Structure formats: C-alpha cells, structure tokens
Amino acid sequence: MILLVNYKLDSWLYPVRYVEEVEKYSTMYKVDAALVEAVIKEESKFIINAQSATGAVGLMQIMPSTGAWIADQLDEEFADLNDVDRNIRYGVWYLSELTAEFGGNKILALAAYNAGRGTVWNWIEKYGWDKNFDRVDEIPYEETKLYVKRVLKSHEKYIKFFNRTKD
C-alpha cells in the first residue's frame, strides 16, 4: 500500500505528459528524455499555453525571438509556440544545441537555457570556467542557480521514479 501511495505522490509531483513528443524529439536530437521532462516541469509545470512575465511561451518556455531563430536554423517558417509538438521540438533542439555548444556540460547548457547563451559565455570568460564546470553554487544569477538546481533534482527524480535512463 505504501508503494502505491508513493507512486501516486511521485506521479503528482513529477508528472509525465506528452510522452510521444518527448520520446520522438529526445531520440531525434539525442537529449535525455528525463532531462526534457525535468525542463518542462520546471519551465511550465506541463501547462500547454504557459506564458512568463518576460514573454516566454509554451511547455518549454521559449522566447519568441529564440523561437524565430530556431525556426530559421531549422529552415522553416516561424509559427505558434503554443503548439505542443512544435514547442517540444524547438525546446529539445535548442537544449541539444546548447549542450553541444558547451561541450556536453549539462549545467552550463541548463544555465544558458535559462539565462541565455551569451550570459553563460560571459561567465565562462569572467570566472575562468571550463567544460568540466560543476559548481552550481557559483552561478552568479540567483534565479539561474536555483533553476539549474531544480532541473537537476527533477531530472534525478524522473530517472528514479519512471525508470528513465541517464544520457
């Protein structure tokens, strides 16, 4: 009985939605599906048409300017970021690009997803960080530091509770 209660609590605290899209684009862009779920959980709580005060849109909270840039990179017309499939595809593609840009460093990629790639490059230069950076507490923006910590915690929970594998 306790196991069932814990499972229900885990499912409530760490929901899994849009599995088909997450699996499809995680595989396509070689991003850990548990990490994508963690980003969606922390960005939008899985609310389809979420919009931040700064204007970020959809499940993966993509800024319209970033969405337009992604559409250009994918050689397609920019369209509605509230579309579930498009939002997840763009977000996973962007997460994949950031991970590659920062040498596979998940912490730097997540920080860039939150604070912007230029900001993270400035920190790398200013503080002498390298591709092995793992000191989340040294991230100078409190919001970004807390965001990265939340995503990493959620990532571990998605791996544990839902038998996901690490990348």
CA torsion through residues 132, 36, 45, 86, sign: positive
Active site residue 101: no
Q: Which of 43, 97, 143, 156 is catalytic?
A: 43
Work out the angle at residue 75's Cα, subtended by the Cα atoms of residues 71 and 78, and round it to the nearest 5 degrees: 30
Burial (CB count within 10 angstroms: exposed 0-12, middle 13-18, buried 19+), residue 10:
middle
Please, which residues have CB within 8 angstroms of residue 88's CB and are 6 or more apart in sequence? 18, 21, 22, 25, 36, 40, 59, 60
Query: Hey, which residues are catalytic here?
Result: 43
